[in-house]
Amino acid sequence: MLDKRLYHHLVSWLGQWPAGRPLQVVGSERRVRPGWDGRPHPLVGVGAPGGAVLSVPPDRVTAVRAMSDLPVGDLLAKLPAAVGYADWRAHRAVFRYCLAPAPLPDAGDWIASDDEVVPPWLRPFTGQVLVARDADGAFLAGVGVKRHDAHGQEIAVGTVPAARGQGLARRLVAQAARRVLDNGAVPTYLHEVGNLASARVADAAGFRDRGWTAYGISAD
């Protein structure tokens, strides 16, 4: 049975869950409102073994549904233009969630995202971010939480090159996942299909691959 928090997150984030068919296109006002970073996210989707839900702006549902029988590769190529962002790029990722983080020791401290030690990539995350520092206080690795809604929060992690291979990322991800669960939400984790390093971090932190996929579009 699907965890209630995850179910309510997917319904809130996408507009519908489960799919009910191989590809379900739904319209949601959330696609035209500011998201976790204050910017709109005009297409998001999640696919599970039973089917995928693509969430688009309400006025773009008809255009996207007309392409729903296309092979995945062709569909992804056409999606940005279909939702009004022809210069953007569609992408898919592995979608993971975790209900029991690995019992790894904590590796960082929660600090304000506008603290001077926080690198630029972490600053868009609102509230606090989780940061690991060396003995001199220099940034080594960090986690930001995309607070999509009250039921689901997505974890993003990054490590400076000199600190990689020390297990910091997996420990930070597990630490952040415990806080998300303590706050009553389910932690999620997305990574590119071919990113083996990120996949290893997810596995080690307790986010197993269940064969789920995430879809989106971005300007880069």
* Structural domains present in the chain: 4-95 (no CATH), 109-209 (3.40.630.30)
Q: Which residues of the chain fall short of a pLDDT of 70?
A: none
Would you state the pLDDT for residue 203? Answer: 98
- Residue whose C-alpha is closest to residue 198's, from 162, 159, 163: 159
pTM: 0.96
Convert 150-162 to b/e letters by CB count within 10 Å (16 or more is b): ebbbbbbbebeee
Three-state DSSP at 47 gives: strand
Would you state the pLDDT for residue 126? Answer: 86
Would you state the pLDDT for residue 1? Answer: 84
Residue 47 contacts by C-beta under 8 Å, 6 or more apart in sequence? Answer: 19, 53, 95, 212, 213, 214, 215
Would you state the pLDDT for residue 160? Answer: 97
Would you state the pLDDT for residue 108? Answer: 97
Task: Tell me how far apart the alpha carbons of residues 164 and 158 are, in angstroms, rounded to a whole number.
Answer: 9
Would you state the pLDDT for residue 220? Answer: 78
Would you state the pLDDT for residue 59? Answer: 97
